[in-house]
Amino acid sequence: MTPINAYAAQSATTPLTPFNFERRDVGANDVQIEILYCGVCHSDIHQVRNEWGGSIYPMVPGHEIVGRITKIGSDVKDFTIGELAGVGCFVDSCRECPSCLAHEEQYCDNGMVGTYNGRDKEGNPTYGGYSTQIVVDAKYTLHVADSLPIEGVAPLLCAGITTYSPLRHWNIGKGHKVAVVGLGGLGHMAVKFAAAFGADVTVLSTSKSKEQDALNLGAHHFAVTKDADTMKKLQGKFDFILSTISASHEYNDYLNLLTLNGTMVVVGVPPQPSVVGAFNLIGKRRSIAGSLIGGIKETQEMLDYCAEHNIVSDVEVIKVSSINEAYERMLKGDVHYRFVIDIASLK
C-alpha cells in the first residue's frame, strides 16, 4: 500500500479539506500514475454535495486525470515507465456484457466503476484525481501525447469525450448546421470539435458577453436565447443541437429550432426533469437523445485527434487549496472554461 495526499469531502455540507489514504499495490495488470493535473468537472460538485444521491464519504473527486507512469505491472505491455497517461471517468467495468464487448464500457450493463465515488470489485470505495497518485488497470488507462500542454489535456478526459462522442455518433461534419447550447466547460469543447469536423456552428447562450469568446473558439454564429425574436427566426434551422448546460432550462424552446429529422442530444444534467411536448417531436419527426462520455477506445481516438489537430481545453490552473472557491466560481459561471488543479500543490 502507498500513502497518498489528497483533498476530500467528508460530507455533503462541508468544504473539501486535506485527506490521507492508501492506494493499493500495483498488480500484474496495473499502472501507477503520478498525477500532475486534474480537471474540475461540474459533476464533482453534484457528487460532493450529494445532489444525485448515493454519495460515498469521504470522497476524493476528480476524473480528468493526466500524469506520468511511475510503475507498471508484470503483464502490462502497452505502457512504459515515464510515459504520460490519462484516466477518465471510470476505471473498470464487467468486461463481458454486450456494451463492454462493443467498446462502450460507459454503458456497461452491470455498471461501470467510477474513478471516484464508486466501489471496486472488492467493495472498496474509489478515490479520484484530487490526489498525488492513482493505480489503474492498464485496460482503463489512456495514452497522452507529449506534444500538447497537459494541463489543457486533462479536461479532455471528461469534457472532451462527452462532446466528441455524440458528434461522432451522429456523424456531424460538413453540411450540418449545429447549435451548441451553453458555453461552459462542455460547450466550449463542443464548439471546438464541431468546427473542426466542418460543421456550421452556432452558439446559443443567455449571455451576450460570451459572443466574442464563442467566435474565437470557432463558432460561426452566436444567438442570445433570451431574445424572443431571435429564437423565432431560428426555428427549424438546425440539423443537430448539443445541449451542454446543467442549469434548469426549457427543452421545448430548443426542439423547435430543429429542422425535419433533426436531433437534440442532452449531455448536461439539469437538477430537475424537463417536460417535453409531444408535438415538438412528432411535427418534424424530431428526436431527443442523451449521451454519456465515451468508451476507452473512443476516448483514445479523441485524444489522438486532439494531438493531431492541436485541440485542448481552455483552462485556469489553480492550487488545490483554492478548490472550494473554484466550486463557488463554477456555480456562478466564472471560469474560462475549465479549472485544472496543479497537483504539485498537494505535495
Question: What pLDDT, in 10s, does the model give residues 60-84?
Answer: 999 999 999 999 999 999 999 999 9
CA distance 143 to 167: 22
Same fold, 2-157+314-346 and 160-290: no
The whole-number average pLDDT for the span 253-277 is 92
Cell numbers linked to 132: 498525488
CA distance 9 to 133: 18
Check residue 272 and give its pLDDT: 82
Residue 161: phi, psi to the nearest 5? -70, -30
Collapsing DSSP to helix, strand or coil, 228 comes out as: helix
Check residue 273 and give its pLDDT: 85
Taking the domains of the chain in order of start, what are their residue ranges?
2-157+314-346, 160-290
pLDDT at 43 over 90: yes
Q: Which of 140, 144, 142, 125 is nearest to 24 (CA)?
A: 125
CA distance 39 to 89: 11
Q: Which class for 204: exposed (0-12), middle (13-18), buried (19 or more C-beta within 10 A)?
A: buried
Q: Which long-range contacts (CB under 8 A, 24 or more apart) does 270-277 make?
A: 270/245, 270/246, 271/51, 271/246, 272/248, 274/248, 274/249, 274/250, 275/251, 276/251, 276/252, 277/252
Query: Is the CATH number 3.40.50.720 carried by domain 160-290?
Result: yes
User: 2-157+314-346: which CATH number, 1.10.645.10, 3.90.180.10, 3.10.20.30, 3.20.20.70?
Assistant: 3.90.180.10
Give the CA dihedral 14, 331, 89, 323, nearest 10 degrees. -50
Does 166 sit behind a cis peptide bond, omega within 30 degrees of 0 on the bond before it? no
Question: Residues 186-209: pLDDT tens digits?
Answer: 999 999 999 999 999 999 999 999
pLDDT at 340 over 90: yes
pLDDT at 286 over 90: yes
Check residue 342 and give its pLDDT: 98
Question: Residues 115-124: pLDDT tens digits?
Answer: 999 999 999 9
CA atoms within 13 A on the CB side of 108: 17
pLDDT > 70 in the chain, percent? 100
Check residue 274 and give its pLDDT: 85
Check residue 44 and give its pLDDT: 97
pLDDT at 48 over 90: yes
Query: How distant, in Å, are the alpha carbons of 37, 39, 85, 108, 325 from that of 315?
Result: 11, 9, 19, 31, 16
Cell numbers linked to 246: 446543467
Confidence label for 46 from pLDDT (cuts 50, 70 and 90): very high
Check residue 271 and give its pLDDT: 78
What pTM was computed for the model?
Answer: 0.96
Question: Residues 292-303: pLDDT tens digits?
Answer: 999 999 999 999
CA distance 134 to 152: 20
Angle at 337 between CA 299 and CA 148, to 5 degrees: 50
Helix (H) or strand (E) holding 193: helix 185-196
pLDDT at 247 over 90: no
pLDDT at 132 over 90: yes
CA distance 291 to 165: 8
pLDDT at 39 over 90: yes
Helix (H) or strand (E) holding 211: helix 211-217
Mean pLDDT of the chain: 96
Check residue 167 and give its pLDDT: 98
Helices 159-169 & 185-196 angle (0-180, nearest 10) = 40
